[in-house]
Structure 1
Amino acid sequence: MNAHTLLCRASLIASAMVSLTAMPALAQDAPADADTAADEGAPIVVIARRIEEKITDVPIAITALAQAQLEKQGANTLAGIQGAVPNLNVVQGRGSSSSANLFIRGIGQPDALQTFDPAVGIYVDGVYFSRIQGALLNLFDVQRVEVLRGPQGTLYGKNTIGGALNVVAKKPDYDTLKGEAAFTYGDYNETTAKGYISAPLVPGSVALSLAGIYDNRDGIVTDPLTGKKYNDRNNAVGRGILRAKASDSVELVLSADYTKQRNDLTLGYATAPLIGFDYNATFTAATPFVIGAAEPYGPYDYKASTSFGPGKGQQLDHWGVSGTINIDLNDSVQLSSITAYRRLLSKNYVDIDATQAQLGDVFVDVRQHQFSQEVQLKLTADKLKGVLGAYYLNEHINSHQEAYANSYLRYVGTPLNFIRTIDDEQDTKSYAAFGQLTYALTDQLSLTAGLRYTHETKEYFRTTTATTSLGATPIIVSTFTFPNSLPAPYNTVQSVSFDAWTPMASLSYKPTENTLFYVSASRGFKSGGFNGRANSLGDLTQSVGGSNVLVTTFKPENVWTYEAGFKGTFADGRVSVAADVFRSDYKDFQARVGGGNTGLTGGSFPVLNAGKLRIQGIEFEGMVRPWSGMTLTASMGYLDAKYLEFNDGRRAPAFSCNPTGTKIVCQPAFAPPITFRAGAEQRFPIGDSASLALGGDIRFVDKHWLSVDNRPGLFEDGYAVGNVYAQVDFDKFYLRGMVKNVSDALYKTDGQEFSSVGNIQTVYFGDPRTWQVTVGVKF
């Protein structure tokens, strides 16, 4: 599809959506938070470019979700914004209740393991979260969530090749005592209690806010063999923010947060037959046998089994502290410093095969900490504004893993015990200098240019031991250590460095105060690294030109994105529209694939720089308030994603995206062609001080693959999910009832592809229909 066709489709879709007057509750110019919700014409102010701007002045494809919107969408965590933003796919991390793998425009993290970097950066008050573990944040005290689509490399930390998600927490008020509390009860014994209070300690100069939430729900998945429930919630989260003015020109913000999660297992469902191998007496041949059937309990009905016993659940302790200093050097120049430290402790049992067989059963103990420092010089003059800065990140992560597979192997018909232990650690140091400036050429025409230089070094060590035993007698013991077990000269290469220049430029035109046209071009970069699943030389062996070669690292991923867009508000803020068309050309696209025979019974886990990927599409958001109390909203994303080159690199793959070397047969995963949301709310006055709001929305996600190499069972056929709510607001109190997934739609959200071991192909499903009632107070 050429650019002319895309522009035509953008125009047609925008016109059609406006004529239908069904437009997004994403409120391009809706109130920024609950405090201003009564003022329906107030514009949203965002910090997408690190300085405060009206969202209609920002030449970026961006969606801002205020707290009131998040609550009415039932978004307790980041998973709740699924379907609410064009071309955003929120994937709950593959057997983990606390991981968030975000895909924007079809680009995300190729593997959930901690050695692979996210493609979408998550930031909380400017602090970057390095890992998807612990990133499924509770949204209990946020002012808004900003979702920036496309590369954001000139202003944001690292690896924002797909986009950035910016969470802005509520800041305490210097002069006014404020607070709110709410209690929710719902289906599956859901009990959620949350509270927030902001108090001036020294009026006008020092203020403190405290917020907390306890979120508990019984499991929605039942093991028919034991009756035990899984896929539950048990979370406690707290945050404190101290804000102080040292003088009229100096402000200090200190923040501390802590998340504790104690859940049972998160189970998926097997979509392919599980296969084991029976060795002959001399270990020279092995015969496959069936361990378990696909869909062991028939079509999915929230039933699954596990071999893990009681006490084998999931634990997360995640905390951090940060300090931000803002110094006004003069009326137009501000110096900001953001210093942060974060600590992540995660102990998860994961039953990857999701059956009573012991095949893909693992324990993963992750310990991570990071220190980051960012300095920004912000300029807001009459004709020139922007940011210059420097960024530093120092991260250490280590893990201990155990894999149990006693159902996988037999010796002349007798089951063998199998355990693999893995210990690895990675150190990452990232340095960057960046700048982005906007110059007003005229009152209506502005030029923005930015540049970032990133230098990153990673050092990795890994040792793994696999033991196969008959009873207490070891039969086969194998050990592999990276890099020591590699042949020379690879055995001394333990660190690797990457650097990149990532420029951007945009031209924006404002024919009126409330409308904006823009075009932009930007380059994105995502770091390379080491294969965190390398258990043997086979995992690092790829076929290049017909010869097997060692590939011990994977290279960075790069993209050029070109975008054109329009934003506007009309009729005193009662109508808003935003649309964009884009094209992204990826080079050295990173992919973790399965298959490739490296022995009698196993496969390999290579990480490939697969080649070239082209993604282009259209995005639209709009809102209209046709009469008093009524808000109609909608958003839509169209995505055309295609591999232009896929260099498979596997030996004798069972599945290949390029089996003949001349024809690519795969489509990119997590890239639904259409995402759509439409919503409506009607508010009725009740007397002088109360009101009733009736609302709901429907979200559609098109068919898409859940694995890189397109396994048949790892495919979502497309789904629509509807939510409805009713809320009564009094002077200070409110009562809300909500039903999520009204039609009880059954839909897949993620897939686990470990076909190299036992043909494991597991899918995960979204929640069934649930209801909840909330009572709250605000003052």
Structure 2
Amino acid sequence: MMTMRVRMMLLAGVGLLGALPVAAQADQAAAAVAADDSVESAEIVVSARRREEKLIDVPVAVTAFSQADLQKFQAVDLSGLQGTAPNLNLVQGRGSAASANIFIRGLGQPDALQTFDPAVGIYVDGVYLSRIQGALLNLFDVERIEVLRGPQGTLYGKNTTGGALSIVSRKPSFTDTRAEASVQYGSYNQWVLNGYVSAPLGGDRLALSLAGQWDKRDGLVTDPRTGRKYNDRDSLTFRSILRAQATDNLEILMSGDYNRQRNALTLGYPTAPLIQTSLFPAGVRTAVPAEPYGRYDFRASTSFRGNEGQKLDHWGANITANWTVNDAITLTSITSWRKLDPDLFIDIDAAETEMGDVFVGIDQRQFSQEMQLKWNTEKFSGVFGLFYLNERVRSHQEAYADDLFTFLGGPVTFTRLIDDAQRTKSYAAFGQASYKFTEALSFTAGLRYTWEERTYNRFTTTASNQAFLNNVAFRFPDNLPAPLNLDNKAEFGAWTPSFTLSYKPGDDSLLYVSAARGFKSGGFNGRANSVNDLTLVVNGAPTLVTRFNPETVWTYETGAKGSFADAKLFVAASLFYSDFRDFQARVGGGTVGSTGVFPVLNAGKMSIWGFELEATAKPTKYWTLRGSLGYLDAKYDVFNDGRRVPPQSFSCNPTGNAVTCEPAFAPPITLNLATDYRIPVGEGSITLGVDARHVGKHFLSVDNRPGLTEPGYWLANALVRYDAAGGRWYGQAGVKNLFDRLYRTDGQEFSSVGNIQTVYYGDPRTFSVMVGVRF
């Protein structure tokens, strides 16, 4: 039930929606003021609709961050954006230093495994990144980041249900030589070195930029049994962009990037007692209690004893060609190849016992080609395109569980070896066109057809000192009964339209209503180790289900944007409702005999409605205020819990009727309040800034395990910065998590294996100082 405070926030937002056009019309008569006395938000140029437009003219729920914003957030990688945009939940993902767990409006990826598609697409210069591994990108040569909320597909290369993050790099200049460098030192001996140079290579037709970042920090977490440090940072990143103006009408951009990470383990903390099972005589005993060292204070243990850590190598190369055919038509080609090779040791149980220790080695390759025709006339504008993605993912996994079982009072060694391969081919044709009925009224319609082919093969076997657990093999799909033994290929297709009606009462305001359908492809259970993992209860009977179906959503939205008070105030607001079908959920906890299972469910129906508000104000020439509010009311309307042995301890419909769970990673409130004040000092200036971020209570597992819950938290950050005359050099000192709050960011739910329920925590209070120069 909403609190009175939430009700008041929502009513205030609804009232603002109605007031925007009136205020905007009154504001048109006001004279413009100097640039440094106005709000920049309305003037930010974004490419959310695949063409450059002012943010205030785009009938889409989008938040844009510039390079200056990222420095104010003290953001080194994407996780620095957590809490900065309404209904954005972006954290480091599940036991890996390089993975990004991103949820927008309550939609994200249900499992970190590479066989699940993300609901939020990440794009770098228009190139789609297929996997969340390696997606916690460093931010060093970014021009801007755009956070698009709601289904994407009629404009973006890959169809997604939750939204998209679009990262736009700085283009090298044909005329100016520019160079930047910065050195940052902070808590836990963190060093961050950034470098960027852009230079013309002769004439005004060729230019090159080079950028690099080195980010290294000691571990935050100590194992009290050994004194070793974990949860560190060790990342080296390079990017180069070659820009060529081949002819007056043809621009070619060739870029390459490389990221190398060499980290120690990323440890969480157990929130439920880890349970060791006696196979004979039957019985169980607790191996490790919940929170073994009491309230979490960045101490945790691991059974790994050597130099097991996390390695990642991530390469990419792409060519973008923009051909201006005439004043109205532009053709764009985006060709990309990417290679991702993580080798990750993960202690899932985060304890000295060996119950859920794993190695995951991934070999991922992807090739994508996108063609776009952009058409822009006085009345008509649009984008029409074709998209192709060919992805191959192979993995070798090892699961170590020598403390999971006992037999006749003696130890049972147990290792599971897994090799699997998935091939995905995705084809799409899409288009979106806008027609201006008048200078103020426009209608936009889009349509996309997606066709995906997915092939999956898997082989698992075991090694144990007990004969009945040794060499237990399972091959998918070969070991399934006919005709399912041939069922390793699936094809999925969907039409996804979008419609938007927008009205501009004046140059400085916008109203819009929209409807859009999103689609996320189905696939195969990448955790199936036996037929039990593929057995669900369907219509009351145990049934083999070899795949999960696509997830679809219709989102309906109304919004408004406006710039007021002589451009000293910018406000954007939206109301939305999302209706989901067949949402994908990976759950645990069911058993067949003594064997834990990991089914994937198309659980049923989910509905989410919410409200978003963003505002930037400049009361004086030197004082800036920013704020954003996101509200979510998310619920499962239907949750078909198909685990084989009802009732489950944490089933979302234990009686088969009432749904008792709430969607995970969907905090009802996300709030960000920030202010900075610039003080002139000679020809330079000093800026003082503070911001506070609130993320409300939310669950970290699909079926709401009590220990996998974040009760909600506030974070405060502060900085002081000096900019010299002309911006030639600057110095900045900052503190993050000022009041040293303890907060949970993610969770691992593998209760089928020793009752594993592990949480991960955000960073404690940290300090940093930075010095930068520009030429």
For Structure 1 versus Structure 2, the TM-score category normalised by the shorter chain is: over 0.9
Task: Please state if 1:621 is matched with 2:614.
Answer: yes
- More off after superposition, 9-18 vs 379-388: 9-18
Q: Distance in 2 between matches of 1:679 and 1:368?
A: 40
1:53-452 map, 5 Å: 53-280=53-280, 286-452=282-448
2:37–2:568 CA contact under 8 A, matched in 1 = no
Picking from 674, 679, 686, the partner of 2:674 is: 679
Task: Please state if 1:460 is matched with 2:453.
Answer: no
SS at 2:512 equivalent: strand
Q: Distance in 2 between matches of 1:59 and 1:758?
A: 49
Displacement of 1:91: 2.9
SS at 1:295 equivalent: coil
The 1:17/1:308 distance shift into structure 2, 3 A limit, reads farther
Q: Distance in 1 between matches of 2:183 and 2:93?
A: 28
Normalising by the residue count of structure 2, what TM-score does the alignment of the two structures yield? 0.95
Picking from 626, 631, 634, the partner of 2:627 is: 634
SS at 2:71 equivalent: helix
Q: Distance in 2 between matches of 1:703 and 1:161?
A: 23
Q: Distance in 1 between matches of 2:484 and 2:468?
A: 31
The letter for the 2-side match of 1:439 is Y
Picking from 703, 707, 716, the partner of 1:709 is: 703
2:576–2:609 CA contact under 8 A, matched in 1 = yes
Deviations 1:578-614 (A, max 9, x none): 00000000000100001111122x3210000000000
Task: Please state if 1:656 is matched with 2:651.
Answer: yes
Q: What residue is the counterpart of 2:522 in the other structure?
A: 528
Picking from 537, 549, 552, the partner of 1:555 is: 549
Q: What residue is the counterpart of 1:32 in the other structure?
A: none
The 1:468/1:594 distance shift into structure 2, 3 A limit, reads same
Q: What residue is the counterpart of 2:30 in the other structure?
A: none
SS at 1:530 equivalent: coil
Task: Please state if 1:593 is matched with 2:601.
Answer: no
Displacement of 1:399: 0.1
Q: Distance in 2 between matches of 1:491 and 1:588?
A: 25
Q: Distance in 1 between matches of 2:585 and 2:635?
A: 14
Q: What residue is the counterpart of 1:24 in the other structure?
A: none
The letter for the 2-side match of 1:673 is P
Picking from 483, 487, 504, the partner of 1:510 is: 504
Runs of 4+ in 1 over 4 A off after TM superposition: 6-11, 14-19, 36-42
The letter for the 2-side match of 1:645 is V
The letter for the 2-side match of 1:302 is F
Q: Distance in 2 between matches of 1:432 and 1:16?
A: 39
SS at 1:272 equivalent: coil
The letter for the 1-side match of 2:657 is T
The letter for the 1-side match of 2:351 is T
2:37–2:620 CA contact under 8 A, matched in 1 = no
Displacement of 1:408: 0.7
Displacement of 1:159: 3.6
The 1:17/1:385 distance shift into structure 2, 3 A limit, reads closer
SS at 1:691 equivalent: strand
SS at 1:12 equivalent: helix
SS at 1:188 equivalent: helix
The 1:37/1:338 distance shift into structure 2, 3 A limit, reads farther
SS at 2:188 equivalent: helix
1:10–1:581 CA contact under 8 A, matched in 2 = no
Picking from 478, 485, 488, the partner of 1:491 is: 485
The letter for the 2-side match of 1:149 is R
The 1:40/1:12 distance shift into structure 2, 3 A limit, reads closer
Displacement of 1:654: 2.9
Displacement of 1:289: 1.1
Task: Please state if 1:729 is matched with 2:723.
Answer: yes
Deviations 1:538-576 (A, max 9, x none): 100000121100000000000000000000112332110
Q: What residue is the counterpart of 1:478 in the other structure?
A: 472
Q: Distance in 2 between matches of 1:561 and 1:9?
A: 22
Displacement of 1:332: 1.2
- More off after superposition, 6-15 vs 200-209: 6-15
SS at 1:591 equivalent: strand
Q: What residue is the counterpart of 1:698 in the other structure?
A: 692
Displacement of 1:383: 1.1
Q: Distance in 1 between matches of 2:210 and 2:333?
A: 23
The letter for the 2-side match of 1:486 is L
Q: Distance in 1 between matches of 2:17 and 2:302?
A: 47
Q: Distance in 2 between matches of 1:197 and 1:480?
A: 53
Q: Distance in 2 between matches of 1:309 and 1:335?
A: 56
SS at 2:439 equivalent: coil
SS at 1:156 equivalent: coil
Q: Distance in 2 between matches of 1:705 and 1:239?
A: 37
The 1:564/1:39 distance shift into structure 2, 3 A limit, reads closer
Deviations 1:310-356 (A, max 9, x none): 31000000010000000000011100000000000000000000001
Q: Distance in 2 between matches of 1:666 and 1:339?
A: 43
The 1:171/1:246 distance shift into structure 2, 3 A limit, reads same
Q: Distance in 1 between matches of 2:346 and 2:214?
A: 24
SS at 2:583 equivalent: strand
2:86–2:612 CA contact under 8 A, matched in 1 = yes
Q: Distance in 2 between matches of 1:127 and 1:486?
A: 38
SS at 2:620 equivalent: coil
Q: What residue is the counterpart of 1:607 in the other structure?
A: 600
Displacement of 1:40: 5.3
Deviations 1:665-707 (A, max 9, x none): 10000000000000000001011x2100000100000000000
**What value does the CA root-mean-square deviation take over the aligned residues?**
1.8
The 1:696/1:15 distance shift into structure 2, 3 A limit, reads farther
Q: Distance in 2 between matches of 1:189 and 1:314?
A: 20
SS at 1:13 equivalent: helix
SS at 2:56 equivalent: helix
2:62–2:149 CA contact under 8 A, matched in 1 = yes
The letter for the 1-side match of 2:521 is S
Q: Distance in 1 between matches of 2:422 and 2:473?
A: 19
Normalising by the residue count of structure 1, what TM-score does the alignment of the two structures yield? 0.95
Q: Distance in 1 between matches of 2:363 and 2:282?
A: 38
- More off after superposition, 42-51 vs 420-429: 42-51
Q: Distance in 2 between matches of 1:695 and 1:272?
A: 40
Displacement of 1:723: 0.2
The 1:37/1:372 distance shift into structure 2, 3 A limit, reads farther
- More off after superposition, 648-657 vs 265-274: 648-657
Q: Distance in 2 between matches of 1:288 and 1:546?
A: 30
The 1:7/1:301 distance shift into structure 2, 3 A limit, reads closer
SS at 1:484 equivalent: coil
SS at 1:343 equivalent: strand
Q: Distance in 2 between matches of 1:475 and 1:712?
A: 32
SS at 1:660 equivalent: coil
Displacement of 1:467: 2.2
The letter for the 2-side match of 1:568 is G
Q: Distance in 2 between matches of 1:329 and 1:612?
A: 46
The letter for the 2-side match of 1:323 is I
1:158–1:526 CA contact under 8 A, matched in 2 = no
Task: Please state if 1:767 is matched with 2:763.
Answer: yes
The letter for the 2-side match of 1:530 is F
Q: Distance in 2 between matches of 1:677 and 1:302?
A: 26
The letter for the 1-side match of 2:510 is L
1:10–1:580 CA contact under 8 A, matched in 2 = no
